[in-house]
Amino acid sequence: MTTRIDTRFAELQKQGRAAFVTFLMAGDPDLDTSLALIKALPKAGADIIEIGMPFTDPMADGPAIQAAGLRALKAGTTLKKTLALVQAFRRDDDATPLVLMGYYNPIYIYGVDKFLVDAKKAGVDGLIIVDLPPEEDSELCLPAMQAGLNFIRLATPTTDDKRLPAVLANTSGFVYYVSITGITGSGSADSAVVGEAVERIKRHTKLPVCVGFGIRTPEAARDIARHANGAVVGSALVDALAKSLDNDGRATASTVGAVTELVRSLANGVHAAQQAAE
């Protein structure tokens, strides 16, 4: 079964360029602004959109994304409302792939079977669940794949050749390579080291490899896009959003523009990698 993610990577391969993947937290700083932001991302240059599912205990997230999750929860964002956000986005855009990213607990509480039916119906294409290892594939990964959703796995600098086959076994859509050890938003990616890591992963899989963590500038995005099939940016966008809010943490007239402006410049960085390679 071909998903929107598969289709998008096939299109980009024909164009000879990497994907620009953006991350924002659902409901940050409120649901209306969040929808306006997500709707604006494709026009600004995002090829694939990751949407965070807010959770009270986000152990792998750095301060910026943790704060985004807290703002979203304070605004009343639930998993049900996150799926409604996807559904609202799909009314105008049936092509851009959407990936939900987060932790297993909210899905478990929602009910796995119900969640998969509702996610598929809303227009979700893939899942990245950071706290479910391959040993627990029967919990969500296998049912998600049967439901026609891509299950995207994370590989890290500490995922050695012995561990990689297990990580890749039921992965689909793309592999998300975390370029630095530690939490999101810390450090910056070294493109030469990333290049070697991407090559190593590609020896084990035909799937596209996207690289995230530590990409904050158009130059960094361009350097990563030269080595990988996609560059993922999250913390930098969430930071731009946070800086645009008023003293009470509410959206201002500049919020959507602050994020889309940065998305545009980062997308130009990714596109420059294609031009440099030609």
Assigned token pair, 274: 């294609």
> Can 50 be counted among the known catalytic residues?
yes
What is the reported pLDDT for 183?
58
From the list 50, 137, 223, 239, the catalytic residue is 50
pLDDT of amino acid 181: 65
Q: Does residue 278 have a pLDDT over 70?
A: no
Q: What is the pLDDT of residue 180?
A: 78
CA gap 47, 246 in Å, rounded: 30
Q: How confident is the model at residue 182 (pLDDT cuts 50, 70, 90)?
A: low
pLDDT of residue 191: 78
Count of CA atoms in the C-beta half-sphere (13 A) of 153? 26
**Topology classification of domain 4-277:** TIM Barrel (3.20.20)
Least confident of 26-30, 33-37, 170-174, 180-184: 180-184
How many of the other CB atoms lie within 10 Å of CB of 220? 21
pLDDT digits (tens, 9 = 90+) for 263-272: 999 999 999 9
pLDDT digits (tens, 9 = 90+) for 139-165: 999 999 999 999 999 999 999 999 999
Task: Look up tokens 């409302």; give the residue.
Answer: 81
Tell me, what's the pLDDT at 274?
Answer: 74
pLDDT (0 to 100) of residue 117: 98
Which DSSP string corresponds to the chain? Answer: ---HHHHHHHHHHHHT--EEEEEEETTSS-HHHHHHHHHHHHHHT-SEEEEE---S--TT--HHHHHHHHHHHHTT--HHHHHHHHHHHHTT-SSS-EEEEE-HHHHHHH-HHHHHHHHHHHT--EEEETT--GGGTTTTHHHHHHTT-EE-EEE-TT--TTTHHHHHTT--S-EEEE-SSSSTTSS---HHHHHHHHHHHHTT-SS-EEEESS--SHHHHHHHHHHSSEEEE-HHHHHHHHHTS-TTS---TTHHHHHHHHHHHHHHHHHHHHHHH-
The answer, yes or no, to whether residue 232 has pLDDT greater than 90, is: yes
Which of the pair, 188 or 222, is modelled with greater confidence? 222
Interatomic CA distance for residues 230 and 18, integer angstroms: 5
C-alpha closest to that of 225 among 214, 237, 236, 211: 211
The 10s digit of each residue's pLDDT in 66-78 is: 999 999 999 999 9
The reported pLDDT for the residue numbered 193 is: 86
Mean pLDDT for the chain overall: 94
The predicted model gives 75-95 an average pLDDT of: 98
Taking 60 as the threshold, does the pLDDT of residue 63 lie above it? yes
More confident residue, 186 or 268: 268
Catalytic site residue from 30, 47, 61, 223: 61
- Give the per-residue pLDDT at 59: 85
278 compared with 81, residue with greater pLDDT: 81
Give the pLDDT band (50/70/90) at residue 187: low
Q: How confident is the model at residue 185 (pLDDT cuts 50, 70, 90)?
A: low
pLDDT tens digits, 4-14: 999 999 999 99
Interval 99-122 mean pLDDT: 98
Question: Residue 61's pLDDT band (boundaries 50, 70, 90)?
Answer: confident
Mean pLDDT in residue range 45-49: 98
CB 200 within 8 A of CB 156: no
Q: Is 219 a catalytic residue?
A: no
pLDDT at 62 over 90: no
Instruction: Decide: 232 and 177 in contact? Cβ < 8 Å.
Output: no
